[in-house]
Amino acid sequence: MTRTATVNYHVHKDERQAFELDAGGIIGNLISPELVVTQVTLSDTRAAKRPVAFAADAVEFTTYPSAVQDFCGDHWKDTYDRELTQLLNNKLNAREVMIFDHTMRVDDPDATRKPARNVHSDYSEDGAKKRLINLLGPERAATWEDGHYAFINVWRPVEQPINSAPLGFVRPSSVDPTDWILLDLIYPDRKGQIMGLVGNPDHEWIYQSVMTPDEVAFFNIYDNRGLPSIGHSALDMVEDPSLTSIRKSIESRTLVRY
């Protein structure tokens, strides 16, 4: 089954581009580089002829219910971290997992963290290496560098099925290396680096329709042994126009040692 949606692609420029997050010290204030609104055709994984698997596509969808029903406050983190660790151990045969960040996103103009509506991947090579050191310290990071590690994002709907702004992905096999550009992430207290994706009509977009809170997508955002990072973005589309539910989701960034 195919659908259409609009996404915001990045553009090639001579100078380095950047996002400013919490700009001016205001939580949630975002200053964005130039983006190009583009209509894309989507393949729904629920009915796709080509299967989607992490090893081939850097993303996989699975049913994985959580014991956590309320993501408010901090009481849920230990339980949810244990669940995600078990998921990645089982699905990726990981021998060590560190969950280091959870972000709740709400598709509301007044939300602190809204769905990310630019086509991107969360780390460049330099950004991933700096984050590894930041999380583990120089000595332990050097040990991980000698082996195989990756940053994996786990994404889950919260409270109700996703009706609008679902998360879409670009199959890495359809991306030309020149489609990627470096982007700075400028925070009030630090600086990071991600990858932005420039539009290309060859891009093959996939998503899973009407994902429920019992389902997750886990996807690769950096791998030091060459599994491609996957471009992704919230999609501007609505599954059922008669519904007015607000899209809520939680994404969890993890560091995995194979």
pLDDT band at 1 (very low <50, low <70, confident <90, very high): low
pLDDT band at 256 (very low <50, low <70, confident <90, very high): very high
Average pLDDT over residues 88-114: 95
C-alpha 217: how far from chain center: 9
Domain boundaries along the sequence of the chain = 2-257
CA distances from 193 to 120, 153, 154, 169 (A): 11, 16, 20, 20
Phi and psi torsions of 226, nearest 5°: 105, -5
What is the percent of the chain with per-residue pLDDT over 90, rounded to a whole number?
84
Give every CB contact of residue 241 below 8 A, 6+ residues apart in sequence: none
List strand residue ranges (DSSP E) for 120-230, in order. 120-121, 149-157, 167-170, 180-186, 191-197, 205-207, 215-223
pLDDT at 84 over 80: yes
Strands 36-44 and 205-207: parallel
Would you call 55 helix, strand, or coil by DSSP?
Answer: helix
Average pLDDT over residues 36-59: 94
pLDDT at 24 over 70: yes
Interatomic CA distance for residues 196 and 119, integer angstroms:
6
Interatomic CA distance for residues 250 and 235, integer angstroms:
16
Q: For the segment 166-223, what is each residue's pLDDT rounded down to a tens digit?
A: 999 999 999 999 999 999 988 888 788 899 999 999 999 999 999 999 999 999 999 9
Phi and psi torsions of 121, nearest 5°: -130, 150
Q: For the segment 118-132, what is each residue's pLDDT rounded down to a tens digit?
A: 999 999 999 999 999
